[in-house]
């Protein structure tokens, strides 16, 4: 069965410092991995995805994520956090098989708080 | 802003009411989804439509009834809901569903409908 874990409910970072939001996954076959961000009273916005190729993926708003197959991880990173990055971040995964494994499975979310 | 709109944004209904949520996507996608987002819980996939055909019903109670009249519109009809159904209901669309080999395509989400059942 597919699953994704975001071990931290909340991450606190000072503005200007690097940030990391963790994600690990379990899936049959090769994973398709996604990060989304949700601002208050808004839907989820796509940030970046890993499908194949280079393990370091760059996305919107200066975010990047590194796919690590041996550790089954896909941590979200940003070199210098902004107060405006404060939001709820979701990691999601699906396997590259069809059928029910084609559904996107979301983690429970990590609240990122960036303080001035 | 994302090309997916949802109405209404907020809805308060009694347990005996019947109401409908509407979703419209302007992205030319052929797959649409309903998700339920409750506090402290992961997003729950409710329904998947691909080419206007329901391809997934994720053990959702029959008091939730989806309808997809065309590839741009998706409805969620609600009747005799329970207070525990109070949540944010999110609609999303993508080009091809994961079930149809479009697993690499990201989903685009609407802003959601905040539903409160009294």
Over 60: is that where the pLDDT of A40 sits? yes
Give the contacts of A114 (CB within 8 A, at least 6 positions apart).
Answer: A13, A14, A15, A19, A81, A82, A83, A84, A85, A86
The tens digit of pLDDT for each residue in B53-68 reads 777 777 899 999 999 9
Averaged pLDDT score across all residues of chain A: 91
3-state helix/strand/coil string of A55-108: CEEECHHHCEEEEECCCCEEEEEECCCCHHHCEEEEEEEEECCCHHHHCCEECC
Which of B75-106 are b and which e, b meaning 16 or more Cβ less than 10 Å from the residue's Cβ? bbebeebeeebbbbbbbbbbbbbbbbebbbbb
State mean pLDDT over A61-86: 97
C-alpha B28/C-alpha B45 separation (Å) is: 21
Give the chain A residue nearest B112 (alpha carbons): A43
Chain A residue numbers with beta carbons less than 8 Å from the beta carbon of B112 are 42-43
CB contact under 8 A, B99 and A108: no
Q: Is B106 at the interface with chain A, CB within 8 A?
A: yes
């Amino acid at each position: 069965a597919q699953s994704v874990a975001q071990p931290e409910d909340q991450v606190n970072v000072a503005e200007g410092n690097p940030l990391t939001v963790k994600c690990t996954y379990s899936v049959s076959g090769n994973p398709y991995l996604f990060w989304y961000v949700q601002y208050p009273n808004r839907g989820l916005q796509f940030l970046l995805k890993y499908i194949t190729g280079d393990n370091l993926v760059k996305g919107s708003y200066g975010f990047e994520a590194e796919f690590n197959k041996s550790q089954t991880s896909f941590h979200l990173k940003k070199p210098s956090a902004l107060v405006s990055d404060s939001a709820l971040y979701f990691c999601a995964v699906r396997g590259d098989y069809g059928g029910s494994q084609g559904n996107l499975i979301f983690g429970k979310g990590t609240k990122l708080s960036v303080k001035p | 802003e994302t090309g997916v709109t949802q109405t209404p944004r907020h809805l308060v209904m009694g347990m005996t009411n019947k109401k409908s949520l509407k979703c419209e996507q302007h992205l030319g996608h052929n797959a649409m989804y309903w998700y339920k987002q409750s506090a402290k819980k992961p997003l729950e996939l409710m329904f998947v439509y691909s080419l206007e055909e329901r391809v997934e019903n994720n053990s959702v109670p029959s008091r939730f009834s989806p309808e997809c009249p065309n590839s741009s519109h998706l409805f969620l009809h609600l009747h005799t809901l329970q207070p525990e159904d109070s949540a944010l209901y999110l609609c999303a669309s993508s080009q091809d569903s994961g079930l149809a080999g479009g697993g690499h395509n990201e989903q685009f989400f609407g802003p959601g409908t905040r539903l409160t059942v009294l």
